[in-house]
Amino acid sequence: MMFPTLKRSMPYTKFVGWMFLATVLVAFGASAEASLPSQVHLKEVAVFGKVGRLYPRSVEALRFSPDGQFVSAITAGGSFFTWSLRTRRQVSFEAYETSFPRAAALSGNHRLAMAQGLDGGNWIQVFDTRDGKELHGLEGTQDSDLRAIALSGEGSLLAAIADKGPPWLWDLSRKPRVRKLRGAKGRLRVVAVSEDGTRTVAAGEDGFVYVWNSRTGRLLKTLRGGERSIVSVAVSADGRWVLAGSEDAQARLWDLRTGKQVWSMEEEAIPIGAVALSGDGTRAVTSGKELQLWDLQQGSVLAESSSGPSPVVLSADNAFIAAGGYDAMWLMDTRSGHRFEFSLNGQMDAIAALVVSPDGKRAASSSQSASVRLWDMAGGTAQELASGREQPPMAVAFSQDGRKLLSASRDGLVRLWDPREPSTGRTLVKLPPEPTVLVTSPAGPYAVLSGSDGALRLWNLEEEKEVRRYGEEGGPAYYPVVFSADGKRLFAAREEHGVDVWEVETGQQVKRLEPSGYEVTSFAASGEVVAAGTRDGHIQLWKAQTLEPLFRLSGHEYGIRTVSLSGDGKWVLSVGEDWTVRLWDAKTGAQQAALGPQSNYDLPASAVFEPGGQSFLVGDNAGVIHRFVFEGQ
């Protein structure tokens, strides 16, 4: 017999980076081989849209939000991204215009500082990332390029070092005031400020670490770090502990109450290019040849990764490490060791959600540029329905009859359009904010909407009113949610709480499913099958009526971004955080094909089958949609 293959049929410059990965056939039972078709071809027949804005720059600074719900990154080019740790989805993007960028820093209360070099006036700008407003413009030294900057946790203090001269410390709590911190003898390379703002730390080429009282400007400690340059430094939230990494491949920890070195580690000839400390000083992250999380009290490694990116930051609960690189940010779950990649290319126009109308004539997509686009599938043209400085839409959906298009954004705003007259868009309802659930029934004029309050609301779209609720208000939020193909059941996932199944008409919960040890990230339903993609990269299939498990599909290296089922329930289509699109046989559980990019400029972000199940759409990170059809069946 012949294995299924992907066949290229038309060259296209915007899509030349995609390649067919080696076809993988995995048998999940004795019937797997017997039921496979003799040959399946996938043909790319259309490409819709123009390549969006791409931002290939290295990460300058990272920061977890104080509540542990989000992680943000700022790149050297001024691109600011925020992702939800729960959904692993990007929730905001902003492009900050800057000339001759040299350094950047983030605080825990939505402050962003960006420094420009001498050619840009040696100017430091401070912004509020919630609205993009510039709060301060600070002038640095006029005879030396700025090298590094740091912010305190609440953003009231900003420290900066230049290629020569002492550190500068600004008090931003009122009208900006600046002082020079005296006492350092060598050329400085790195700087940090404690979360509480009590200590400012700098280090550099002489191998010493200098610690100042931020309030008085007095030099408190001069710590010997080694014979080589210090290239990374971190200070605990309360200013008691200082961690430094050096070119001699060592990291050292000091207790500032005594000035004594209390811990050290040594790599194999690779400089410790980045370090991070937990708030209480009991955990440390070092990034050299390897990325390692340390228990400083026991001196043991709790988690590690084979590569050492820079910069690094540790979440307040020590559960996640965020690490930057070129074109990507990595998130590591310290409990499981799993790593997740977040691309920094084209994310402003990346297609986060993609749906097709029931008649197949239109598609709708949402992107991080806070836009909803309506696509004409015959002509390939797109109309932008919403854009600007609004919250990015997290979901889009067509009503069962295709006469309504809905979108839901992170702030809980649900909007409604008539696809035939898109200019008539209006607000349907305002829900509690993220995570916002939006899913429409395939068998009636209904939609389920939900915010962060734990209640699922069944809406009648014809009457535009709420008719029923599922779940308890005040409990953990549901995300994602899907109707069964007949519209009679509702499947809803909660983080670490499995999948709850309800009868739609009665509101009675009939069962709780446990797909795996990881949370569900995406749902799909078609025919007699319900599919759930999970954070650990698996896809679980159930029989929709009996809820009997069918298959657990394995192949993706990381979590599942989206999953889709063909209309006849025969095929499963998935997009993973490993940036591959995979096709599965829903009847046998066998993987049929895998499609992936060759570059960071056409990464698949979402995929969905069109009606009939003989074609599907793939949306990428540059805002482009690619259409594939089945041949030879």
Per residue in 478-528, pLDDT tens?
Answer: 889 999 999 999 999 987 668 999 999 999 999 988 766 668 889 999 988
What are the pLDDT digits (tens) for 62-71?
999 998 889 9
- pLDDT category, 334, cuts 50, 70, 90? confident
Q: What is the pLDDT of residue 386?
A: 64
Looking at 2.40.10, 1.10.472, 1.20.58, 1.20.1440, the CATH number of the domain 107-161+169-175 comes to: 2.40.10
Domains 41-52+347-630 and 181-308 share a fold: yes
pLDDT reading at 22 higher than 70: no
Token pair of 373, please? Answer: 């686009």
Tell me, what DSSP letter sits at residue 276?
Answer: E
Beta-carbon contacts of 165 under 8 Å, excluding residues fewer than 6 positions away, are 141, 144, 180
Within a 10 A sphere around the Cβ of 629, how many other Cβ atoms?
15
Higher pLDDT, 368 or 543: 543
Residue of 76, 215, 256 lying closest to 244 (CA atoms): 256
Token pair of 428, please? Answer: 């349907």
Q: What is the pLDDT of residue 601?
A: 58
pLDDT reading at 99 higher than 70: no
- pLDDT category, 10, cuts 50, 70, 90? very low
Q: What is the pLDDT of residue 370?
A: 54
The separation between CA 541 and the C-alpha centre of its own chain, rounded to angstroms, equals 25
How much is the CA Rg of the chain, to the nearest whole Å?
A: 26
Find out whether 473 and 455 touch, Cβ atoms under 8 Å: yes
| Residue extents of the structural domains in the chain | 41-52+347-630, 107-161+169-175, 181-308
Torsion sign over Cα 493, 416, 370, 561: positive
Q: Of the given ranges (367-371, 539-543, 557-561, 597-601), which has the lowest mean pLDDT? A: 597-601
Within a 10 A sphere around the Cβ of 3, how many other Cβ atoms?
13
Within a 10 A sphere around the Cβ of 482, how many other Cβ atoms?
25
CA distances from 318 to 68, 280, 283 (A): 10, 10, 8
Maximum Cα–Cα distance for the chain, whole Å? 79
- pLDDT category, 270, cuts 50, 70, 90? confident
Distance CA 253, CA 255 (A): 7
Instruction: Report strand pairing: 250-255 vs 260-266.
Output: antiparallel
Instruction: Report strand pairing: 41-48 vs 5-6.
Output: parallel
Please compute the mean of the pLDDT values over residues 193-221 and round it to a whole number.
96
Q: What is the pLDDT of residue 7?
A: 29
Query: Whose structure tokens read 């002509």?
Result: 379
Q: What is the pLDDT of residue 101?
A: 75
Distance CA 276, CA 309 (A): 12
Check whether the bond before 480 is cis (ω within 30° of 0). yes
CA dihedral 566, 568, 572, 574 (to 10 degrees): 20
Distance CA 194, CA 234 (A): 8
Residues 457-479 as b or e (16 or more Cβ within 10 Å = b): bbbebeeeeeebebbeeeeebbb
Distance CA 22, CA 155 (A): 50
Residues above pLDDT 90, as percent of the chain: 51
Q: DSSP 3-state assignment of 215?
A: coil
Please compute the mean of the pLDDT values over residues 328-334 and round it to a whole number.
85
Distance CA 543, CA 586 (A): 11
Tell me, what DSSP letter sits at residue 22?
Answer: P
Higher pLDDT, 185 or 77: 185
Beta-carbon contacts of 272 under 8 Å, excluding residues fewer than 6 positions away, are 231, 232, 245, 246, 249, 250, 251, 286, 287, 288
Give kind and range of the element (H or E) at residue 189.
strand 188-193
Residue type, 485: A
Order across the sheet with 5-6: list the strands: 5-6, 41-48, 625-631, 615-620, 604-609
Query: Whose structure tokens read 């499913």?
Result: 513
Higher pLDDT, 267 or 31: 267
Provide the mean pLDDT of the chain: 84
Tell me, what DSSP letter sits at residue 583?
Answer: E
Check whether the bond before 445 is cis (ω within 30° of 0). no
Find out whether 212 and 218 touch, Cβ atoms under 8 Å: yes
CA dihedral 68, 71, 72, 76 (to 10 degrees): 130
Q: What is the pLDDT of residue 278?
A: 92
Query: Whose structure tokens read 């046998």?
Result: 588
Class of domain 41-52+347-630: mainly beta
- pLDDT category, 37, cuts 50, 70, 90? very low
What are the pLDDT digits (tens) for 441-458?
999 999 999 988 889 999
Q: What is the pLDDT of residue 348?
A: 57
Find out whether 152 and 183 touch, Cβ atoms under 8 Å: no
The neighbouring-strand residues paired with 146 are 162
Token pair of 31, please? Answer: 């019937």
Distance CA 122, CA 138 (A): 9
Torsion sign over Cα 284, 287, 293, 299: negative
What are the pLDDT digits (tens) for 107-163?
999 999 999 876 656 789 999 998 889 999 998 776 778 889 999 999 999 999 998
Q: Is 517 exposed, middle or buried (0-12, 13-18, 19+ CB in 10 A)?
A: exposed
181-308: what fold?
Methylamine Dehydrogenase; Chain H (2.130.10)
Distance CA 601, CA 455 (A): 39
